[in-house]
Every structure is written in C-alpha cells, then in structure tokens.
Structure 1
Amino acid sequence: MDKNTFYQSLNQQAQGLISGETNVIANMANISALLFMSLEHINWAGFYLVDSDSELVLGPFQGKPACIRIPMGKGVCGTAAALDETQLIADVHQFDGHIACDAASNSEIVIPVHKSGKVVAVLDIDSPQLSRFDLEDQQGLEALIRLFEQQL
C-alpha cells in the first residue's frame, strides 16, 4: 500500500476513534496507541502538552518512559512548539540541542496541535531508523492532527 492510501486509512481509523469524544486526554491516548500500532519502525509516539509559556509536559504516549518536562524552544518538541512549525528531523544527532529521552531514537517528527489558533500540544514520533519520516509522512500526520484539532 502506498503512503497516501495508508494515511487515508489511518486517518479514517483515527476519526472513528475520536468522533464524538470530547475528552482530550482520551483522544490523545487513542491516537498515540493507533500510531504506535500502525506505523512501522517507530519506538515512541505521543503528545507533549503546553504547560506554561516556558515548558511542555508529557502527555499520553506509547513507548518507553520519556522526559517529563521539555523547555519551550529546546529539543525538537520545544522547537516545534515555540516556532509553531512541524519539525521533520532525519538525524536527531545533528539537531542542535536535541534532548535524548531514548538513546535508540535516530529520527523524529513533531507536529504542533492548535486550539483557537494557539499551540496547545505537539505530537511527537520517534524512530530508531535514520531518515524514517519524509514529506508524505508529514502531510499524512498533519492531516491527522487537523482532524484531532476539530475535536478540541
């Protein structure tokens, strides 16, 4: 199955899981589980929530235990939140200021989540493979986040 078809199917599954559910934590938990179960070659999938203007705090996730707090603007997650831009990182070891919560992670994608036009969280997905994520992954995952944002 090509990636476009894969993400269309994945996003339909996500829509089915979160449709009509208003609890943000429950929806984040199900999206994390769906991503962890469906995406190949990943070792972590989950959310960090904006806790203040200065940091993110760990939210629902699947994978090994993770860093609990990340300063805004630091690491891939903090950078995505501070800049309000998806971060598609082929080699996290080349990312200045990378925070290594799991030494096995080699590539990462982080997508901001918005409510009322403001970043309220980020979706973070890590992989032990270098260059695991590409533009098609980014577009498919950004579409999933747009579906999720409609429930916020």
Structure 2
Amino acid sequence: MYDFAPDSDLSPTERYRQLADAADALTAGEADGVANMANVAALMWEFLPALNWAGFYRMVDGELVLGPFAGRPACIRIPLGRGVCGRAAQTGETQVVEDVHAFPGHIACDAASRAELVVPVVRDGAVIAVIDLDSPQRARFGAEDAAGVEQLARVLANRI
C-alpha cells in the first residue's frame, strides 16, 4: 500500500519537494506513461490544497488530448495556442493565471475554476504533454507553485 500523504503544515517548497520525490518513487522503473500520469495526477490531488482539477494533456498529432486527471470531466481536445493549456504547449513556457476569466481565449471546462497553472513537460526539446492545475481560488498559484510543478515535469519527462 502506498501512503504519500503530506503533513498539512509543510511549506510550499517542502510540499513540492515531497511531491516530486513521491512521483519519482512511483514512476521509477515503470515504462507505461499512462499509468505514470494516472498515479501522478492522484498524487497532485492528494498533495496540493485548493484544487478542483489536476492532470495531464498529452501532445498527440499536433494537439493536446486529455490524459489522466482528478476532478470533474474535462475538455478532450485543445488546439495549440488556445486557452491556457494550448498557450503553454505552443510556447513551451509555464503559464500562471491569477484570474482565468481575464485570460483571452480561456476554455472553461469547469465554471468553478478561477486560477490555473500549466507547465509543459519537455523531452528532447519538444513539448510532449502539459501538467494542468485548476483552482476555485483566485490567484491560487504563484512562483513557488510554478517552480515546484516545473521540477515535477522534469522528473516525468522520460517517464510519460
């Protein structure tokens, strides 16, 4: 049995370090990328407070396609450049959005979402997926969150 639940009083930096360590432990030696994404989506849901969606979109034939996640049903396909996920995939840059309703072209899969963090997963210079976190809390994500999820993306780059 796996029990990776973090302490509730961790600093954000320590919480993300423990999340990356747990993801590393769960995905090490497992070749199935979907299984690895599923476990990491569950870990993000467990580790990160104030989320209403945590998961992956995979790059498939030039567009993002829904991958494993925790949360409400989501949009299945996202064109490059569209919405927060599409912009992150197109630019290869992390997107931290304090208020998704102010983001031009935001795709509203869940009307309760207020803030979003999207981090590209890059392998051999190409975006292969994005990690997407949504929150019902405006301005939920900041620089520490971005750095923590970027570290997680580096751990997963050769495992998904």
Q: Is TM (by shorter chain) over 0.5? A: yes
Deviations 1:52-109 (A, max 9, x none): 22x2111111100000111110000000000110000000001000000000000000
Cα-Cα RMSD: 0.9
Which residue does 2:18 correspond to in 1? 9
Q: Give the conservation status (yes or no) of the 8 Å contact 2:15–2:47.
A: no
Gapped regions of structure 2 (runs ≥ 5): 1-9
TM-score of the aligned structures, taking structure 2 as reference length: 0.91
**Aligned equivalents of 1:13, 1:120: Cα separation in 2:** 21
Which residue does 2:28 correspond to in 1? 19
**Aligned equivalents of 1:22, 1:128: Cα separation in 2:** 34
Quick one: which of 97, 101, 108 aligns to 1:93? 101
TM-score of the aligned structures, taking structure 1 as reference length: 0.96
Alignment size in residue pairs = 151
Where do 1:107-122 residues align within 5 Å?
107-122=115-130
Give the C-alpha shift of residue 151 in structure 1.
2.6
Residue 74 of structure 1 pairs with residue 95 of structure 2: no
The sequence identity of aligned pairs, in percent, is 52
**Aligned equivalents of 1:65, 1:85: Cα separation in 2:** 25
Matched residue SS, 2:127: strand
Quick one: which of 111, 121, 127 aligns to 2:135? 127
Residue 42 of structure 1 pairs with residue 32 of structure 2: no
Deviations 1:16-66 (A, max 9, x none): 11111111100000000000111100000111111222x211111110000
Matched residue SS, 1:13: helix
**Aligned equivalents of 1:17, 1:31: Cα separation in 2:** 8
Give the C-alpha shift of residue 150 in structure 1.
3.5
Gapped regions of structure 1 (runs ≥ 5): none
